[in-house]
Amino acid sequence: VTSPNDSQLKRIFGTILNSKLADFDDEVKPLADPITSATIAIYRAVSRELLPTPSKSHYLFNTRDLAKVIQGMMQATKTYYNSRDELLQLWCHEACRIIADRMWDANDKEWLRKQLDEKLLSSFSTSYSQVFEAFGEQVPPFVTFMRQGTDAPPYEPVRDMAALKELLTEKLEDYALEPGASSMDLVLFRDALHHIC
């Protein structure tokens, strides 16, 4: 099957994202097309530069990865994403979740961060460090389980890692109390918390 070209990808994913953001605030609504173009550019750069090698044989990227980034963007809700920076945080998170999570090499992760920084600068006149300034320039995990008791919990960044650890420890203790369940003595260190999220 012939791989779609950039204009076809932009039409497919741009239409999906534009329909999603149609009801959002005026600051967020016009971001659909630039986010789609930036995502396609990141995907093309990753496919061209990060080729599989014997030590990185899992570096196989295709349009499914591009679709997963857009699918992650579709989890934004109008109530909780009402600013440009919040949507850009989600976009960077999804790109890192889909692409950087495969990378074990710190240089490759830094390369991806530079790619994201270039796209943020050229398409949105901001930078990676400005977008994640509130998080210490680190991409936080996004989850739907931090707001307990909410009918439709939002897909949002974890703003307090201590609260996340406390919640997951509580859930681990609840699991141990279930009939037939055995106690799991897990240490929830930072990477374990990110992996769960």
**For the segment 74-124, what is each residue's pLDDT rounded down to a tens digit?**
999 998 898 999 999 999 999 999 999 888 889 999 999 999 999 999 999
Is residue 151 included in any domain, yes or no?
A: no
Give the per-residue pLDDT at 177.
Answer: 84
Annotate 85-111 with three-state secondary structure. HHHHHHHHHHHHHHCHHHCCCHHHHHH
- SS3 labels along 2-34: CCCCHHHHHHHHHHHHHHHHCCCCCCCHHHHHH
Q: Which of 29-43, 60-74, 127-141 has the least mean pLDDT?
A: 127-141
pLDDT surpassing 80 at residue 137: no
| Whether residues 138 and 169 fall in one domain | no
Residue type, 18: N
**pLDDT at residue 181 tops 80:** no
Task: Judge if 187 and 109 occupy the same domain.
Answer: no
Q: Are residues 167 and 114 in the same domain?
A: no
- In the chain, % of residues over pLDDT 70: 100
- Are 137 and 184 part of one and the same domain? no
User: How confident is the model over 11-37, as a mean pLDDT?
Assistant: 95
**Residues 134 and 174 reside in one and the same domain:** no
Residue 32: predicted pLDDT:
96
Q: What is the mean pLDDT of residues 25-30?
A: 92
Same domain, 87 and 12: yes
